[in-house]
Amino acid sequence: MSTPGTKVTTATAAFTLLLACDSGTRSGPTPLVTDSAGIRIVHSHPATSDATCTISEQPTVVIGDDQSDENLWFARVGSAARMSDGSIVAVDRGSNQIRVYDADGLHLRTMGRQGEGPGEFENGPFQMWIAAADTIWAGDYFPWRFNLFSADGEFARDVSFTPQFINSSMGGGVLANGYSVNSTETRARKPDFSVADTMIVEAHGPGGHLVDTLARIPHGRWGQDAHEALSTFWLPRLFYGGAEVDAGGSTVALAYGMSTEVRVLDDEFNLRLIVRWTEPDREVTAADVDAWREDYVETRPRPDYSPMAEAHDAMISEERPAAELFPAISAVVVGSDGRIWVRQYDRPREVRGVARLRTRRTVPLPPGAAARTDPGIRGGRRAVGARVGTGAPDGPAAPVGIARRVNTKAGAPEAYVRPYAPTERGA
């Protein structure tokens, strides 16, 4: 294939464990645990935890750098994940395919194609979750639905939601009992950045019917620049966090990026645990804003003749407001063993990494199925992201990352897939 393509890789990253199962080794200060009407409330700060997950600097295998084989060349990688046997699953949106490789990068099988029939995709695969028994959930739209494939690549069924989702789910996952957690957005935004949008988190049954609305979480403040060419362009308030949701196994984790709190639900969607902490010194200063703008200018094309030139100007405009406080959370991930990991918000020129909030070892968390983080993470995690699959029983999931580079010959974006070896300390 001569068309410029994509490989799969990630940048170095770190996660910290917030909540541990009984199997975890005790480390760090003992958190304060209280109980209120059957809901366990834990006060534990990520910064006090020495349980962290880092990603090795070198990938264990690279998939997507062989132009001679269509199965090893990607037009556009939508997501990637690892299954329980170490196999790597990658979505190529350019060919509307899901491809499975062994741990050494050897192509095993392909599923999906362009079309409207069973197991086919009109505009996807757009999003992928690995559920129990390595069932692959791959999203497509319009309207939004999932095609389900078995671990050996056989199409099983499709799941559409009632009421109907027009666009893709904005976050969630599939529980071991077959129920799924999905989220959608209602927009109340105004040009002056004064009103936050809302993420609505819903639980759906195995057939897609609505079971319950789990939460309504503020999801970023958006506004508009005064530039006439940007009359339809909305941009977020600088340093403003949104909703974070993840689900797997028998655990659902919910968070609001501007709040120092994570809420944990069980697979019957009952609130069982709240983790809270205090975090001083979150004030955003003029120096923080200047540093962010300077770094943004360094990354934009020069000279900038792109269609997005006005949008780039709006991003660094002095008229774009900044939040008064930095967000506390960039991502929340349910691990393959049921533990919950949080990525702290990376402030300008400060990588804070991901931490675990510890609970007492008597706090039971049920085992999960698969862990994920989204590529192109929102807020302060806007580096190259990773979509995480199942990993070692006692540790975090092994990440599979997606990166893009410029093909110097063709001048076109190129993407590739690289699994990285996880290293967990102090868990």
Bridge partners of 201, per DSSP, are 183, 215
Model confidence at 51, in pLDDT bands (50, 70, 90)? Answer: low
Cis omega (within 30 of 0) on the bond before 155? Answer: no
- Averaged pLDDT, 179-197: 94
Bridge partners of 82, per DSSP, are 88
Bridge partners of 252, per DSSP, are 247, 265
Model confidence at 341, in pLDDT bands (50, 70, 90)? Answer: confident
The residue that leads in pLDDT, 50 or 251, is 251
Nearest to 51 by CA among 32, 30, 31, 25: 25
Res. 88: pLDDT tops 80: yes
CA distances from 238 to 233, 318, 334, 352 (A): 15, 11, 27, 18
This prediction's pTM: 0.79
pLDDT (0 to 100) of residue 58 = 79
State residue 264 phi and psi, 5-degree precision: -120, 125
State residue 379 phi and psi, 5-degree precision: 65, -135
Question: Residues in the chain, how many?
Answer: 427
How many CB atoms sit inside 10 A of residue 353's CB?
A: 16
Q: Which CATH class is domain 14-425?
A: mainly beta
Proportion of the chain above pLDDT 70, given as a percent = 71
- Averaged pLDDT, 213-235: 85
Model confidence at 196, in pLDDT bands (50, 70, 90)? Answer: very high
pLDDT (0 to 100) of residue 325 = 96
The mean-pLDDT minimum among 56-70, 302-316, 393-407 falls in 393-407
pLDDT (0 to 100) of residue 16 = 56
pLDDT (0 to 100) of residue 7 = 54
91-144 pLDDT, tens digit each:
998 899 999 999 999 999 999 999 999 999 998 788 899 999 999 999 998 889
CA distance 372 to 173: 9
DSSP label at residue 338: S
Res. 65: pLDDT tops 80: no
Res. 328: pLDDT tops 90: yes
Residue boundaries of the structural domains of the chain = 14-425
List CB contacts of 11: < 8 A, sequence separation 6 or more.
383, 384, 401, 403
Res. 27: pLDDT tops 70: no
Nearest to 288 by CA among 236, 351, 239: 239
pLDDT (0 to 100) of residue 146 = 95
Res. 242: pLDDT tops 60: yes
Res. 426: pLDDT tops 80: no
pLDDT (0 to 100) of residue 304 = 77
The residue that leads in pLDDT, 168 or 288, is 288
Proportion of the chain above pLDDT 90, given as a percent = 47
Residue 174 near residue 156, CB atoms below 8 Å: no
The residue that leads in pLDDT, 26 or 197, is 197
